[in-house]
Amino acid sequence: MVIIVGSIIKRENKILMIKEAKKECIGKWSFSAGHLEKGETIQEGALRETLEETGCTVKLKSLLPIIHDVRNEILVIHFLSEILEENEIIKNQEKGIVINTSNTGPAFGELNPVESLNKRQRELLEQLSNPGDTILVHKKSVSMNDLRQLTSVTGDEFNMFTNGSRRLIIRGSGREIEVTEEMYNDLITGVYGKFSGHTHPPGYLMEPGPNDSWFLKKMNQKRSAIWGYDGDGWLPFGQESWLTEEIQENIRREKWQKMYQ
């Protein structure tokens, strides 16, 4: 009989799973488990398999119902467990990934009262009431100017992604926007479409922060825009500083041509 042992890691109502790399089941999700080795107890095997497959040291808490496949003579044994020591991937997932920043400044810009928002903007703010909140809305129900007004009230950055008729809005915290690794992967693989732009809070210059151009490059996108409170109220930027200057120069040239044609 083949004996399979492993553990199911649960924390804060979340379950840690692994994505299989074996040829016969590549890409499928499962719990950490493997064959019990000669001379091991089922507890020792479960601890070893969990460490090998997740990189986490765990404490076994309780035995879960045993699965017995009589036809194939397989016995599957799992324990419920808790993490004692995390691996680096889990640590980084919990920290999140900062995709937008505006760290030039600030000059302590003054925030506007909530009363300065129109009805549509107040409704958006109700749906994005806390830093880290996200919403998916119809394209016609939100604009970058709306997000700039929300920033003028909250002091938080907001960014927008457009895919067809739908737009994803993410509220940051202060001068940066942080997302989970899962959301980051969805963004750079195009699940939510094009990176339309993001806002910088009052008092911060409309210049790309260190993460802005880096994230644009990860999106494989040539340009996006920063919406703030200098000049025309928005500024395009590229993947590199010289590309940003080139984009801005082309826009200035187009404006002059329209004025004197």
For residues 82 and 64, state if they share a domain: yes
pLDDT at res. 14: 79
For residues 139 and 56, state if they share a domain: no
pLDDT < 70 positions in the chain = 21-23, 26-27, 86-95, 103-109, 230-232, 239-261
pLDDT at res. 158: 97
For residues 119 and 77, state if they share a domain: no
Q: How far apart are CA 170 and CA 177, in angstroms?
A: 8
pLDDT at res. 239: 67
- CATH number of the domain where residue 12 is located: 3.90.79.10
- Number of alpha carbons in the 13 Å side-chain half-sphere of residue 195: 30
For residues 164 and 223, state if they share a domain: yes
pLDDT at res. 64: 94
Q: Return the amino acid letter for 214.
A: W
Counting the structural domains of the chain, the total is 2
**CA nearest to 57, candidates 4, 19, 7:** 7
For residues 203 and 231, state if they share a domain: yes
Domain boundary among the residues 90, 113, 131 is at 90
Q: How far apart are CA 18 and CA 54, in angstroms?
A: 7
Domain enclosing residue 50, as ranges = 2-90
pLDDT tens digits along 245-260:
665 566 555 655 554 4
pLDDT at res. 96: 79
| Contact predicate 150/125, CB 8 Å | yes
pLDDT at res. 73: 93
